[in-house]
Amino acid sequence: LFMDDNSPPHGARIVTAGLQELGVSRIVWPAMNYGLNPIEHVWDQLKQRLDDRTPPLSDLAELYVFVKE
């Protein structure tokens, strides 16, 4: 099962053909519908926690540790 937001790259012929070849079913969703895409809520929470962090993270290693916590 593959959930996309109907953005142009997700509808490209090569993507569609690859999903069909792999036997992946597609669910048709309204384009850019924030409320139906649960991962958007995760990204929002992560962004908020990063924005609230003092001092800001200085490199990818710190980001990795922060996300794991």
What is the structure's pLDDT at 39?
79
Q: Are residues 45 and 59 in the same domain?
A: yes
> Distance between CA atoms of 60 and 69, rounded to whole angstroms?
14
- The domain tally of the chain equals 2
What is the structure's pLDDT at 6?
67
Q: Are residues 52 and 28 in the same domain?
A: no
Domain extent at residue 28: 1-33
Q: What confidence tens digit (pLDDT) does each residue in 7-66 have? A: 777 778 998 899 899 998 877 777 666 677 777 788 889 899 888 988 888 899 998 998
Q: Are residues 69 and 41 in the same domain?
A: yes
SS3 50: helix
For helices 38-52 and 60-68, the axis angle rounded to 10 degrees is: 120
Q: Are residues 26 and 41 in the same domain?
A: no
Q: Are residues 29 and 42 in the same domain?
A: no
Q: Are residues 27 and 47 in the same domain?
A: no
Q: Are residues 41 and 28 in the same domain?
A: no
Instruction: Evaluate if pTM is beyond 0.85.
Output: no
